Amino acid sequence: RKEVEQDPGPFNVPEGATVAFNCTYSNSASQSFFWYRQDCRKEPKLLMSVYSSGNEDGRFTAQLNRASQYISLLIRDSKLSDSATYLCVVTYGSSNTGKLIFGQGTTLQVKP
């Protein structure tokens, strides 16, 4: 079983749609959670951290369910520029040795 699992998609949605991605992780000791964005043939970039209480950044909302070991990302009012691969990332280990474990990513295509 992969440590971080995501539905690879692709998710094809029209502009203005709301789309949600889920991610599950296997290690209950995971400590920190993130969503990274990776554009085609580019490097990953941090989109947002995910907190237990849930957090929002503009059109993006991230939620964490520790009991069920899943993380979600909601994108409202999708834009063409949101087309990318969204990588779910977790860390575990002590605070000074933790490393990032990436999911394979979920691809989003927003169409006019």
Partner 1 sequence: DAMVIQNPRYQVTQFGKPVTLSCSQTLNHNVMYWYQQKSSQAPKLLFHYYDKDFNNEADTPDNFQSRRPNTSFCFLDIRSPGLGDAAMYLCATSRDRGAREQYFGPGTRLTVT
Residues of this chain that bind partner 1 (CB under 8 A) = 4, 8, 32, 34, 41-46, 49, 87, 91, 93-100, 102-105
Which residue number, 70 or 77, has a Cβ lying nearer to partner 1?
70
CB of 9 to partner 1, least distance (A): 10
Coil, strand or helix: which one is 89? Answer: strand
Task: Give min distance, CB of 66 to partner 1, in A.
Answer: 17
Sign of dihedral through CA atoms 27, 50, 34, 72?
Answer: positive
Alpha-carbon distance of 28 to 92, in angstroms, equals 9
